[in-house]
Amino acid sequence: MILKKIVKKGLLLTIIGAMALGLVACGDNKESETSSLEKEELVLGFDDTFVPMGFKDSNGEYTGFDIEMAKEISNVMGKKIKFQPINWNMKESELNNGNIDFIWNGFSVTDKRKEQVDFSKPYLRNRQVIVTLVGSSIKTKEDLKGKVVVAQSESSAINAIGDYKSNFKELVTFDTNEQALRDLEAGRADAIVADEILLKYYTNQKGADKFNFLEDNFGEEDYAVGMKKGDTKLVEAFNKAYDQVVESGKASEISKKWFGDDIVVK
């Protein structure tokens, strides 16, 4: 009789334990299904030196193509938007830790990044171009052998260059593209590899006749907005709002303001 009671008690404890684990598991699932879409204010993480996508102007205000698009899209989504400058090297960590809801700043789509974040539909097409000073002997990608090349650290330019960097004398990286471009202007580097959209804007500001864009490049890519892995509700809501901003003609208006032409992906 005593043995039967012990067995029954053991079974009961096992069942209770299993139920408790089930509740914990349910709780975990519920937490993982939580979407940033439930928030009233969404936080956009960006590199505030990345002209013309998102940067601080002379008045200390955040501006740029991505900033203006974000305002329009968040308005359609019925959300407030907060612009949060971040260390670009830590962007995925900031997203996964919940400090930001979007990585939105000329963020190039790569296979490696797809493993870490979920992307919106592409909104701009871009290339990783090679730029030198006018008068340089560098005319092709092959001519970069034995040369000093600069790029932004943790950027898609680094991924695009890949193993080809072994041909360089040195690949020097900087926190920002602006710093890298200054090194080129000062003659400390032979070439810069960076986003075409960014370099077109920068070189026009500094004097386009001083720079040479090579026909060779390190590949084409798309710009898209990064969101936390698994947050499909936010991705779907974003894409729907993006389509509305494009259809309204507002995206075209913003593009022409910053790039002189409508280059937005439809």
- At 255, is the secondary structure helix, strand, or coil? helix
Tokens describing residue 42: 């969404």
Query: Tell me, what's the pLDDT at 33?
Result: 63
Return d(Cα 177, Cα 198) in angstroms, integer. Answer: 9
What are the structure tokens assigned to 203, written together? 């070189």
Contacts of 228 (CB under 8 A, 6+ apart): 36, 95, 96, 98, 101, 117, 118, 234
**pLDDT reported for residue 21:** 45
- How does pLDDT run along the chain (266 residues), one tens digit per residue? 544 444 444 544 444 444 444 444 444 434 446 899 999 999 999 999 888 999 999 999 999 999 999 999 999 999 999 999 999 989 999 999 999 999 999 999 999 999 999 999 999 999 999 999 999 999 999 999 999 999 999 898 999 999 999 999 999 999 989 999 999 999 999 999 999 988 988 888 888 899 999 999 999 999 999 999 999 999 999 999 999 999 999 999 999 999 878 989 99
User: pLDDT at position 198, please?
Assistant: 87
Cα separation of 159 and 227, whole Å?
20
Spell out the domains of the chain, with CATH numbers in brackets.
Answer: 36-123+224-259 (3.40.190.10), 127-221 (3.40.190.10)
Q: How far apart are CA 145 and CA 133, in angstroms?
A: 17
Residue 135 tokens read as 């008068």
pLDDT on residue 50: 87
